[in-house]
């Protein structure tokens, strides 16, 4: 099956710093989503971005499908950004909502 | 619009018992999928339902089953519980039936098997 690798596994920042999280995947995909899991366990959908660039406030994401990677940018980080960030991908031949998740990046933002 | 609702939030069971978890999708969403999250295996796909039919199934034993009702609400059942079934079980909904849509997750059910 498809492999998803996220880096770095852990990231510690001071409030106000910027960061870039990376997601590499081993095969072509037509579905890529970024999620933030908060300390209470809920997964919040940040972006649906199988290709191209999107921005939502302080967050933006870019997927280069031909090179099999995606980047999540967090600017002016806040303590509420802490949690685990997951990249998840889906392939064309797997129908529906079957996503393969990476192991996540644990982000800690200190005040 | 209410989000995805999962009940119960926490559950404690003993080995050999069975358990049923419930998921109500976002209003208007017709596709429901289930994921298991453990520290060792991460997030893994269990199955997906659309229009009361299972569309896709992950690599889990037959002890894990699910169903979807006509109102799109879904339940998953785990029979003959094992210690390794302790996990956070997450339900996600999407509009359906188009593939590759944005998923919206509930808060999960934390299952502990003693």
**Chain A closest CA to B98's CA: distance in Å?**
7
CB under 8 Å, gap of 24 or more: what pairs does A47-52 form? A47/A72, A48/B101, A48/B102, A50/B100
How high is the pLDDT of residue A61? 98
Residue B2: predicted pLDDT: 81
Distance from CA of B83 to the nearest CA of A (A): 21
Do A31 and B99 count as a contact with CB atoms less than 8 A apart?
Answer: yes
Could you read off the pLDDT of A2-54 as tens digits, one per residue?
999 999 999 999 999 999 999 999 998 889 999 999 988 889 999 999 999 99
Is residue A37 within 8 A of residue A84, CB to CB? The reply is yes
Inter-chain contact A50–B42, Cβ cutoff 8 Å?
no
Question: Nearest CB to A45: which of B43, B99, B103?
Answer: B103
Which pLDDT score is estimated for B98? 65
Please give the pLDDT value at position B55.
87
Q: DSSP for B23-80? A: EEPPTT--EEEEEEEETTTEEEEEEEEETTEEEEE-S--TTEEEEE-TTS-EEEEE-S
pLDDT in the model for residue B54: 92
Chain A residue with Cα closest to B92: A97
**Taking CB atoms and an 8 Å cut-off, how many pairs form between chains A and B?**
66
Residues of chain B found within 8 Å of residue A97, distances taken between Cβ atoms: 31, 33, 48, 56, 92, 94, 101, 103
Per-residue pLDDT for A87 more than 90? yes
**Token pair recorded at residue A11:** 């990231």
What is the pLDDT, as a whole number, of residue A96? 62
pLDDT in tens, chain B (114 residues): 689 999 999 999 999 999 999 999 999 999 999 999 999 999 999 999 999 999 889 999 999 999 999 999 999 999 999 999 999 999 999 987 666 688 999 999 999 999
* CB atoms B58 and A98 under 8 Å: yes
> Rounded to a whole number, what is the distance in Å from the CA of B95 to chain A's nearest CA?
10
SS3 A25: strand
The yes-or-no verdict on residue A95 having pLDDT over 60 is no
DSSP-derived 3-state class of residue A77: coil
- pLDDT tens track for A70-81: 999 999 999 999
Task: Answer whether B90 sits within 8 Å of A43, measured CB to CB.
Answer: yes
End-to-end Cα spacing for chain B? 37
């Amino acid at each position: 099956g498809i492999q998803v690798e996220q880096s770095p596994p852990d990231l510690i920042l001071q409030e106000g710093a910027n960061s870039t999280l990376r997601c590499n995947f081993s095969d072509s995909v037509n579905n890529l989503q970024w999620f933030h899991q908060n300390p209470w366990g809920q997964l919040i959908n940040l972006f649906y971005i199988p290709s191209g660039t999107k921005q939502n406030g302080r967050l933006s994401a870019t997927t280069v499908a031909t090179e099999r990677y995606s980047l999540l940018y967090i600017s002016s980080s806040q303590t509420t950004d802490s949690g685990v960030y997951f990249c998840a991908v889906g392939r064309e031949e797997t129908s529906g909502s079957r996503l393969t998740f990476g192991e996540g990046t644990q982000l800690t933002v200190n005040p | 619009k209410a989000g995805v609702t999962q009940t119960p939030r926490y559950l404690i069971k003993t080995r050999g018992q069975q358990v049923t978890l419930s998921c109500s999708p976002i209003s208007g969403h017709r596709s429901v999928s289930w994921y298991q999250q453990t520290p060792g295996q991460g997030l893994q796909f269990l199955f997906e339902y659309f229009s009361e039919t299972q569309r896709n199934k992950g690599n889990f034993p037959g002890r894990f089953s699910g169903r979807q009702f006509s109102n799109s609400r879904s339940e998953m059942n785990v029979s003959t519980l094992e210690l390794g079934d302790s996990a956070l079980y997450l339900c996600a909904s999407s509009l359906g039936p188009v593939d590759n849509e944005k998923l919206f997750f509930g808060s999960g059910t934390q299952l502990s098997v003693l």
